Amino acid sequence: MANVNRTRRSLLAAAGASVSAAVLSACGSSTVESAITPSRFISFGDGFSDVGQSGTRYTVNDDTVNIWAQEVASSYGGTLTAVSAGGYGYAVAHARVTNTTNAIGTANAGSITTQIDTFLASNTPTSNDLYLVEGGYGDIVAEYASYAAGTTTQAQAQTNLATAGTELAAQVKRLITAGAKYVLVTGVYDLSVSPWAESLSLTSLFSSLSSSFNNALLVALNDLTGTNVLYVDAAYYFNLFHNSGSSYGFSDVDTPVCISTDAGSGIGAGEVNSGLCTTSTLISGVTDYSVYLFADKLYPTPSAHRQYGVYVYDRLRARW
């Protein structure tokens, strides 16, 4: 674990150094000539990045730019729409990195690996593509379900998540081998701050599950960061949201603002499902849902998504 922590610190320090170098290179000039202008935005992931594969998104569905990956595209002056609507947003809710039985137990549901398979089968990466790769939430939901059912120990769940993190890095390498030039990678935020973990009084467990995935992903990306890959630390930024909420416009960082419950599985039967949430299914009396950090017990509100998207965009502009 000490080696993992040292690697994590060195990678994040290197990322910071890249930002500083980019800022310095821009001094005395109003433009950065090397800045990319993406012609296509292509995303892979789970519910955190799903831009409406099934007609809904896992946040407050308010017909705005309400998913972080959309915000990145919008900040560049582009758009990102779901593959089901003719776009390049391949991310789909509940997807795991390689396991095709998804987080709610649906067999043969595909995976993030399957998403990349599908893209590469009919597309050739170009020099102006920007890839947004994210994963981990589906795997954490699935591993916790096994742990809660008593079929998996915490140690085994953490090992499985470390494997998933390594496998996500392998998919990033596939994209680069295929010709991808610009790949943004983000893992999971620290789920110990989620209403899900807090409601179960299992913040320590969820912190361990999150770090198992993220640390393995970072280690496996070690030889790629600084070249074609930029890693952005979701855990860092969402900890800022949670611990300094008022600085980001949040007055409630613990309560899901949606009340749209789901009888199905996921994080539990009868739980709030933001995939069913609209502006008509919010806590009674709430008119300004932008002051809430979470839409449901796992996924953030549009405001949090947009702010994270802007943060990612700023990191991209500083790097490339």
Q: Residue 317: its pLDDT value, please?
A: 96
- Confidence check: pLDDT of 155 > 70: yes
- The answer, yes or no, to whether residue 119 has pLDDT greater than 80, is yes
Helices (H), 47-202: 68-75, 112-122, 137-148, 154-178, 195-200
Which amino acid appears at position 132 of this protein? L
Please, which residues have CB within 8 angstroms of residue 251's CB and are 6 or more apart in sequence? 245, 291, 292
The pTM for the full model equals 0.90
pLDDT digits (tens, 9 = 90+) for 258-278: 999 987 767 877 899 999 999
Rg (the chain; Cα; Å): 19
User: Over 60: is that where the pLDDT of 253 sits?
Assistant: yes
302-319 helix and 2-25 helix, angle to the nearest 10 degrees: 70
**Confidence grade of residue 298 (pLDDT, cut at 50, 70, 90):** very high
Answer yes or no: is pLDDT of 60 > 50.
Answer: yes
d(CA 36, CA 197): 39
Q: What is the pLDDT of residues 121-146, one digit of tens each?
A: 999 999 999 999 999 999 999 999 99
pLDDT of residue 44: 99
- Say what the pLDDT of residue 19 is: 33
User: pLDDT tens-digit profile of 168-203?
Assistant: 999 999 999 999 999 999 999 999 999 999 999 999
Q: Which secondary structure element, helix H or strand E, spans residue 210, and what is its range?
A: helix 203-220
Nearest CA-CA partner of 186 in 50, 69, 62, 41? 69
Spatial CA neighbour of 320 closest among 164, 119, 129: 129
pLDDT range class, residue 215, cuts 50, 70, 90: very high
Q: Which residue has the higher pLDDT, 10 or 184?
A: 184
Does the pLDDT of residue 3 top 70, yes or no?
A: no
Beta strands in 5-148 (DSSP E): 40-44, 129-134
pLDDT of 243 reads: 98
Domains in the chain with CATH codes: 35-248+301-319 (3.40.50.1110)
The pLDDT assigned to 269 comes to 78
Report phi then psi at 271, rounded to 5: -85, 160
Residue 34's pLDDT is 56
* Predicted pLDDT of residue 225: 64
pLDDT value of residue 13: 42
The per-residue pLDDT of the chain, averaged, comes to 91
Closest alpha carbon to 73 in 29, 32, 114, 38: 38
Q: What is the pLDDT of residue 169?
A: 98
**pLDDT over threshold 50, residue 27:** no
Which whole number is the average pLDDT over 226-232?
Answer: 90
